[in-house]
């Protein structure tokens, strides 16, 4: 089943949280001269036109990135991510001051990595969907040391770790169309960790049914994986009704200052993207 298209959701509140964390982690990796690998198991198309029928149909980005792009009070911790979106959209500071910044494009995780990775780094991007794979291939045409594959991303991750540099960021961002994605994603990280315990792993999840998130947490707790940070932003309270009420990330081996950065980012996102029901949580799920 390959019906999921990220184009419907690009730039929504879940992307804002996921991509601001991804930006902070990739920026951190570039502080050392030595190259690293970026492995994206479920990469999507890499770049999205916000004027197309998909984004316009749901309008999700209007409740996400569009609520931040003209803000003049962006905290330092979020400024790298916002600057990257502004750069892609040719937005300058006077556009922001006058509130006239226009969003045309929103980068997916590969689009973000493309802006941050250096010559000494490499990227391995997987997507099974034929249309998104073709769009991604096009985006990466002149991006050296980037390998795009139309194959299963879970297997791809396991085949690539540990990378020769022994430095890597792995993003696992499944569509969760299949219920098995919840356990498969956790199991893949546990297996990858057995081969490469010093990598940084980011796992995105939706809060649709709380029990499924609890199972993921338990999966990590019952494993040998250490140093897991968990962050969540929930627009509304958990419910048994259909639909995503919140979003979260598990981050294995996060950069040491990420938790402090999120302490600033989360209240800001709650204030700008949320409502009275909105809540966030940040916890060290498993200690080092």
Ligand X SMILES: C[S@@+](CC[C@H](N)C(=O)[O-])C[C@H]1O[C@@H](n2cnc3c(N)ncnc32)[C@H](O)[C@@H]1O
204: left (phi over 0), alpha (psi -120 to 50) or beta: beta
Q: Which residue in 152, 191, 268, 279 binds ligand X (CB under 6 A)?
A: 152
What binding mask, one character per residue, do residues 103-122 give for ligand X by CB under 6 A, x or -? -----xx-------------
Looking at residues 165 to 204 of the shown chain, list those that interact with ligand X (rule: CB under 6 A): 173-175
Distance CA 21, CA 14 (A): 11
Work out whether 153 is an interface residue with ligand X (CB under 6 A).
yes
Q: In the complex, what is the shortest distance from the CB of residue 43 to ligand X, in angstroms, rounded to a whole number?
A: 5
Task: Quote the least distance from Cβ 139 to ligand X, whole Å.
Answer: 11
**Sign of the C-alpha dihedral, residues 144, 126, 152, 154?**
positive
Based on the shown chain and the rule CB under 6 A, indicate whether residue 147 belongs to the binding site for ligand X. no
Q: Which of residues 22-81 bind ligand X (CB under 6 A)?
A: 40-44
Q: Contact with ligand X (CB under 6 A): which of 105, 116, 128, 158? A: 128
Residue 281 touching ligand X (CB under 6 A): no
> DSSP strand E in 6-87: where?
37-40, 47-49
Q: How far is the CB of 173 from ligand X (least distance, A)?
A: 4
Q: How far is the CB of 6 from ligand X (least distance, A)?
A: 4
Inter-residue contact 146 to 123 (CB < 8 Å) = yes
Which of 4, 8, 250, 280 is in the footprint of ligand X by CB under 6 A?
Answer: 4
Peptide bond into 208 cis (omega under 30): no
When the beta carbons of 159 and 237 are compared against ligand X, the nearer one is: 159
When the beta carbons of 39 and 225 are compared against ligand X, the nearer one is 39
Q: How many residues bind ligand X (CB under 6 A)?
A: 22
Give the active site residue among 27, 173, 238, 271: 173
Residue 238 annotated to the active site: no
Q: Can you tell me the distance from the alpha carbon of 9 to that of 15, in angstroms, rounded to the nearest whole number?
A: 8
User: In sequence order, what DSSP letters do the residues of 146-183 get, joined into one string?
Assistant: EEEESS-HHHHHHHHPSPTTS-EEEEE-----STHHHH
Least Cα distance to 280 among 229, 231, 217, 245 occurs for 231
d(CA 280, CA 235): 9
Quote the tokens at residue 18.
Answer: 């996921």
Longest dimension (CA), the chain: 52
Q: Is residue 127 a contact residue for ligand X (CB under 6 A)?
A: yes
Q: Least separation, in Å, of the C-beta of 77 and ligand X?
A: 20
Catalytic residues: 173
Contact positions vs ligand X (CB under 6 A): 2, 4, 6, 18, 40-44, 108-109, 126-129, 132, 152-154, 173-175
């Amino acid at each position: 089943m390959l019906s999921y298209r990220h184009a419907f959701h690009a730039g929504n509140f879940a992307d804002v949280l996921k991509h601001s964390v991804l930006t902070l982690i990739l920026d951190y990796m570039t502080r050392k001269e030595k190259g690293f690998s970026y492995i994206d198991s479920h990469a999507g198309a890499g770049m999205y036109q916000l004027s197309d029928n998909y984004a316009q149909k749901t309008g999700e980005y209007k409740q996400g990135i569009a609520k931040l792009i003209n803000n003049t009070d962006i905290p330092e911790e979020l400024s790298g991510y916002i600057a990257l979106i502004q750069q892609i959209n040719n937005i300058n500071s006077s556009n922001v001051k006058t509130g006239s910044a226009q969003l045309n494009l929103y980068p997916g995780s590969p689009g973000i990595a493309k802006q941050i990775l250096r010559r000494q780094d490499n990227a391995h991007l997987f997507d099974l969907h034929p249309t998104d794979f073709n769009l991604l291939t096009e985006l990466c045409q002149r991006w050296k040391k980037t390998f795009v594959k139309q194959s299963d991303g879970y297997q791809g991750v396991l085949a690539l770790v540990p990378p020769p540099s022994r430095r890597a960021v792995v993003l696992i961002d499944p569509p969760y169309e299949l219920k098995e994605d919840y356990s498969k994603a956790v199991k893949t990280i546990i297996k990858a960790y057995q081969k490469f315990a010093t990598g940084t792993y980011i796992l995105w999840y939706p809060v649709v049914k709380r029990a499924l998130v609890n199972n993921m947490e338990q999966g990590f707790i019952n494993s040998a994986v250490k140093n897991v940070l968990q962050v969540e932003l929930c627009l509304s309270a958990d419910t048994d009704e259909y639909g995503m009420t919140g979003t979260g990330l598990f981050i294995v081996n996060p950069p040491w200052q990420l938790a402090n950065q999120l302490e600033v980012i989360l209240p800001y996102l709650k204030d700008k993207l949320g409502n009275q029901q909105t809540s966030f949580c940040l916890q060290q799920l498993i200690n080092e």
